[in-house]
Amino acid sequence: MTAKAPAVMIESASKWYGEVIGLNDVSLAIDGGVTGVLGPNGAGKSTLFKLLLGRLKPSQGSVRLFGTDPWESTSPFRRVGYVSETEPLYEWMTGLDFLMTMARLHGMTRDEARERAEHVLEFVGLSDVRHKEVGKYSKGMRQRVKIAHALVHDPDLIILDEPLHGCDPLARTSIMSVIRELGNRGKTVIVSSHILEEIERITEQIVILHNGRLLALGNLHAIRGLLDKHPHRILLETESPRDLAKELITRKPIYGVRFPEEGFLEIQTGDLSAAHEILPSAIIESGIRVTAVENPDDNLDSLLGYLVGGG
Amino acid sequence: MTSELDISGGTTRMESAFGSGDGDDEAKASVAQKAEVKGSIFEQTYRPWRGSLGPRWVRNYAIFRHHVYGLFSSKGHRYYHPIVRLTILIVFLFSLSPVAMLFLASLGGQGGFGEVLSRMWGINRYNLWGQVLGFFPRNLCMWPLLTALVVGGMISDDRRNGTSAIYFSRPVNRIDYTAMKYLSSAVVLGFVIVFSYMVYYTSAIVLNGEGWAFLIDTFPIFMGGLLAGILLVLTYTSIGLALSSISQSRFFAAVAFLAVIYGTKMVAFLIESTFESSILYLLSPYDGLAHIGQWLVGIESNYDYPIAFSIVSILLINSLSLALLTSRVSSLEVTRE
């Protein structure tokens, strides 16, 4: 049963801190690929991670990692790698020694630990500084060594809490690349971040939490498509927005137009895919020159705004 | 895996790919001699691990060795300050001083100075008891200081730095974590206190050329002292770890331990001096252990209450310490429960 169980299974889990609710009746299952966990401060992301790591016991409902309750047993942690936002490191150790120490906590022999530590350090791009003390690493390097220590035992589930926090753009790019590669390898990666654009660059699979409740779960674009109350917008940059509007307004599924600023036309539709299908031919038929087409609200930022704003 | 293009400058792969030089304390600026056309393309290739993870005892051994081996080398192990290491070494060497005296006695031959040394440091009930439980200098200057230094930061360091999270996000449960911390501390204390006691006894036999009759006569006394030494190590470890678990400062834990050992004895001494009642020595862990030790090696007791009182006192002190320790460790990293 355990072998077939999903990496993460949460059923009707709630967590109260006295009168305050941290997580409210959340049910979700995650298995394989990269999933972004999003939500404003106080949404319940930290509570969710603490429940997954067995550091909190749900007040109600159940949490299972690979079919086992992490509060009751530490056995799932053989298959879990965790990168905390604030977790300290052994500053006096070199990167290699630190990784070897962590590997040995999983029961590896000395030789296995060294081989594995060297590989994951190379994977995260730290092999050239493996003999340098962790305390002398830059912020980006520290984040990467944390990812390395979470990977040293080749876990099936990797939980990353704000892994991009405080990193320079180069380090972010590198970490995002590592996360994508892990997802491509079939690992289950759960990543939280406040930087929505970066989550978008890593994955389209998202979980949105707000006030402890699960607001949305699934593919970013599919979720956006379900928000009927908020029509999709397509922004066109053109020399003659009014003439183009006259041409397009009569065509289905376009049902509204706006002129947000000079030289721009915004069309509104309930079916984004269908609108994009008819748009090229309609523009060609109109003979009006269009220099840019974009979907300003088909992104995570807008989605989060619509869902959290409750509009 | 990596295709490299004309790397001939002084830039490492790491710096080319990720700018690792940023923030390095030892980074040095250099001026390029000439503009070079160079670059690297890296592929991040993750290789799954095909081995199998070791059983529980292997993981626990990793925790144990992390703490114990750190006394000898910080490379890959727990960090002990050089002064702490030096102090432990001095305490250990001092605890072996009777061995040196016995060696001198063996050189002195029969009669004279050699006989005086042999009488003073030779094996008898009082010397065996004193090697472990004598108040001055061992339980005044050595064992409490040793315990404070070794045990003080054992859990408080994790509490202050949050490094217990490193254990609890791995297949290490709180029982294993506590047990291995306890075992590591007890082994270090045991090495100094119990091992030096054993060396003392063995060297007395070897250096004096004692025979089987002496061995048969003294072995039960030796075993009594050994048991007392083990009890002392366990009791001091329990109290020290309990204090370490309630603190985020190794200094507090160390000072609190010394305060418990010396403070209880001092209070009991003052009460005895003033009111001629020795019953408060039951509160003193040292005196409880000394009383039990006297009973185990068969020497006259300094205490005017029954041995059962001291046994119960030491059991209670250990139980309370362990209860406090387990309760504190069970809440480590468990937030807002």
- ipTM for the predicted complex comes to 0.79
What's the CA gap between A42 and A23, in Å, rounded?
10
Look at residues B126, B81, B87, B117 and name the one whose alpha carbon lies nearest to residue B99.
B117
From the CA of B154, how many Å to the nearest CA of chain A? 14
And the tokens for B104?
């001198």
- Cβ of B334 within 8 Å of Cβ of A107? The answer is no
Residues written for chain B: 337
Query: Does B30 have pLDDT greater than 50?
Result: no
* In a domain? residue A165: yes
Q: Band of the pLDDT at A2, cuts 50, 70, 90?
A: very low
- Cβ of A57 within 8 Å of Cβ of B337? The answer is yes
For residue A293, the SS3 value is strand
* In a domain? residue A121: yes
- Number of Cβ within 10 Å of residue B304's Cβ equals 11
Give the residues across from A187 on adjacent strands.
none
* In a domain? residue A205: no
**Closest in A88, A112, A137 to B51, CB measured:** A112
B-chain residue closest to A126, CA distance: B14
Highest mean pLDDT among A1-5, A258-262, B46-50, B321-325: B321-325
Question: Which of A229-243, B218-232, B252-266, B278-292 has the least mean pLDDT?
Answer: A229-243
Is residue A101 domain-shared with residue A57, that is, in the same domain? Answer: no
Calculate mean pLDDT across residues B217-241: 97
* Residue B255, pLDDT score: 96
- Cβ of A77 within 8 Å of Cβ of B58? The answer is no
From the CA of B64, how many Å to the nearest CA of chain A? 10
- Cβ of A140 within 8 Å of Cβ of B18? The answer is yes
Contact residues on chain B for A79, CB-CB shorter than 8 A: none
Query: Does A201 have pLDDT greater than 90?
Result: no
Contact residues on chain B for A78, CB-CB shorter than 8 A: 53, 171
Contact residues on chain A for B77, CB-CB shorter than 8 A: 101
Is residue A15 domain-shared with residue A62, that is, in the same domain? Answer: yes
A-chain residue closest to B63, CA distance: A105
Percent of chain A scored above 70 by pLDDT? 97
Is residue A49 domain-shared with residue A19, that is, in the same domain? Answer: yes
Query: Does B9 have pLDDT greater than 60?
Result: no
* Number of compact structural domains in chain A: 2
Contact residues on chain A for B26, CB-CB shorter than 8 A: 136
The more confident residue out of A309 and A258 is: A258
Q: Band of the pLDDT at B4, cuts 50, 70, 90?
A: very low
Is residue A68 domain-shared with residue A135, that is, in the same domain? Answer: no
DSSP string computed for B21-85: TTT-TT------SS----EEE---------S----HHHHHHHHHHHHHGGGT--TTS----HHHH
Residues written for chain A: 311
- Cβ of A138 within 8 Å of Cβ of B20? The answer is yes
What's the CA gap between B240 and B181, in Å, rounded?
11
Contact residues on chain A for B337, CB-CB shorter than 8 A: 56-57
* Mean confidence (pLDDT) of chain B: 86
Contact residues on chain A for B336, CB-CB shorter than 8 A: 17, 56
Query: Does B311 have pLDDT greater than 60?
Result: yes
Query: Does A8 have pLDDT greater than 50?
Result: yes
* In a domain? residue A306: no
Query: Does B157 have pLDDT greater than 70?
Result: yes
And the tokens for B184?
């590591």
Q: pLDDT tens for residues B94-151?
A: 999 999 999 998 887 667 778 888 888 889 999 999 999 999 999 998 999 999 999 9
Q: pLDDT tens for residues A26-65?
A: 999 999 899 999 888 888 998 999 999 998 999 999 999 9
Contact residues on chain A for B163, CB-CB shorter than 8 A: 88, 90
Query: Does B75 have pLDDT greater than 90?
Result: no
With a threshold of 0.90, does the pTM exceed it? no
* Residue B11, pLDDT score: 45
Calculate mean pLDDT across residues B153-176: 90
From the CA of B70, how many Å to the nearest CA of chain A? 11
A-chain residue closest to B165, CA distance: A87
Question: Which of A125-134, A300-309, B193-202 has the least mean pLDDT?
Answer: A300-309
Percent of chain B scored above 70 by pLDDT? 85
The residues near A174 (Cβ < 8 Å, ≥ 6 apart) are A124, A125, A140, A144, B17, B18
CA A18 to chain centre: 30
What torsion, rounded to 10 degrees, do the Cα atoms B251, B256, B259, B261 define? -110
Q: Band of the pLDDT at A311, cuts 50, 70, 90?
A: very low
* In a domain? residue A231: no
- Cβ of B45 within 8 Å of Cβ of A123? The answer is yes
The residues near B314 (Cβ < 8 Å, ≥ 6 apart) are B231, B235, B285, B288, B289, B292
Is residue A12 domain-shared with residue A67, that is, in the same domain? Answer: yes
Structure-token match 């040196």, residue found: B100
What 8-state DSSP symbol labels residue A68?
A: B
From the CA of A93, how many Å to the nearest CA of chain B? 6
Contact residues on chain B for A143, CB-CB shorter than 8 A: none
Question: Which of A54-63, A104-113, A299-308, B245-254 has the least mean pLDDT?
Answer: A299-308
* In a domain? residue A71: yes
B163 touches chain A (CB under 8 A): yes
For helices B307-330 and B174-208, angle between their N-to-C axes, nearest 10 degrees:
140
Is residue A70 domain-shared with residue A118, that is, in the same domain? Answer: no
Q: pLDDT tens for residues A138-190?
A: 888 998 899 999 999 999 999 999 888 877 788 888 888 889 988 988 899 99
Q: Band of the pLDDT at B16, cuts 50, 70, 90?
A: very low
CATH number for A129: 3.40.50.300
- Cβ of A56 within 8 Å of Cβ of B335? The answer is yes
Is residue A118 domain-shared with residue A161, that is, in the same domain? Answer: yes
Contact B169, A55 (CB under 8 A): no
Give the residues across from A9 on adjacent strands.
A29, A64
From the CA of B180, how many Å to the nearest CA of chain A? 12
What's the CA gap between B302 and B47, in Å, rounded?
68
CA A217 to chain centre: 11
For helices B307-330 and B285-297, angle between their N-to-C axes, nearest 10 degrees:
130
- Cβ of A105 within 8 Å of Cβ of B170? The answer is yes
* Residue A93, pLDDT score: 93
The more confident residue out of B323 and A306 is: B323
**Closest in A56, A77, A93 to B337, CB measured:** A56
From the CA of B42, how many Å to the nearest CA of chain A? 9
- Cβ of B334 within 8 Å of Cβ of A55? The answer is yes
* Residue B18, pLDDT score: 42
A-contacting residues in B 19-58 (Cβ below 8 Å): 19-20, 22-26, 42, 44-49, 51, 53-56, 58
Contact residues on chain A for B162, CB-CB shorter than 8 A: 86-88
Question: Which of A27-31, B106-110, B156-160, B298-302 has the least mean pLDDT?
Answer: B106-110
Q: Band of the pLDDT at A4, cuts 50, 70, 90?
A: confident
* Residue B22, pLDDT score: 45
- Cβ of B336 within 8 Å of Cβ of A56? The answer is yes
Return the half-sphere exposure (C-beta side, CA atoms, 13 A cut-off) of residue A39. 23
| Of the residues A124, A159, A190, the one at which a domain ends | A190
B-chain residue closest to A177, CA distance: B44
- Number of Cβ within 10 Å of residue A160's Cβ equals 29
Is residue A101 domain-shared with residue A74, that is, in the same domain? Answer: no
- Cβ of A140 within 8 Å of Cβ of B23? The answer is yes
- Cβ of A56 within 8 Å of Cβ of B22? The answer is no
A-contacting residues in B 289-308 (Cβ below 8 Å): none
How many beta-carbon pairs under 8 angstroms link A with B? 147
Is residue A105 domain-shared with residue A185, that is, in the same domain? Answer: yes
- Domain ranges, residue A64: 8-78
| Of the residues A52, A78, A104, the one at which a domain ends | A78
Calculate mean pLDDT across residues B280-293: 96
Contact residues on chain B for A119, CB-CB shorter than 8 A: 47
Is residue A38 domain-shared with residue A120, that is, in the same domain? Answer: no
| Of the residues A190, A215, A237, the one at which a domain ends | A190
B66 touches chain A (CB under 8 A): yes
Give the residues across from A290 on adjacent strands.
A238
* In a domain? residue A16: yes
Alpha helices for chain A (secondary structure H): 45-52, 95-104, 110-123, 139-151, 169-184, 196-202, 220-226, 241-248, 272-286, 300-309
**Closest in B66, B74, B165 to A84, CB measured:** B165
Respond yes or no on whether the N-terminal peptide bond of residue A253 is cis (omega within 30° of 0). yes
Is residue A126 domain-shared with residue A66, that is, in the same domain? Answer: no
The residues near B123 (Cβ < 8 Å, ≥ 6 apart) are B201, B204, B205, B214, B218, B222
Is residue A104 domain-shared with residue A170, that is, in the same domain? Answer: yes
- Cβ of A78 within 8 Å of Cβ of B63? The answer is no
Give the residues across from A36 on adjacent strands.
A191, A206
* Residue B117, pLDDT score: 84
What are the φ and ψ backbone dihedral angles of A61, each rounded to 5 degrees?
80, -170
* In a domain? residue A265: no
What's the CA gap between A140 and A164, in Å, rounded?
8
* Residue A270, pLDDT score: 80
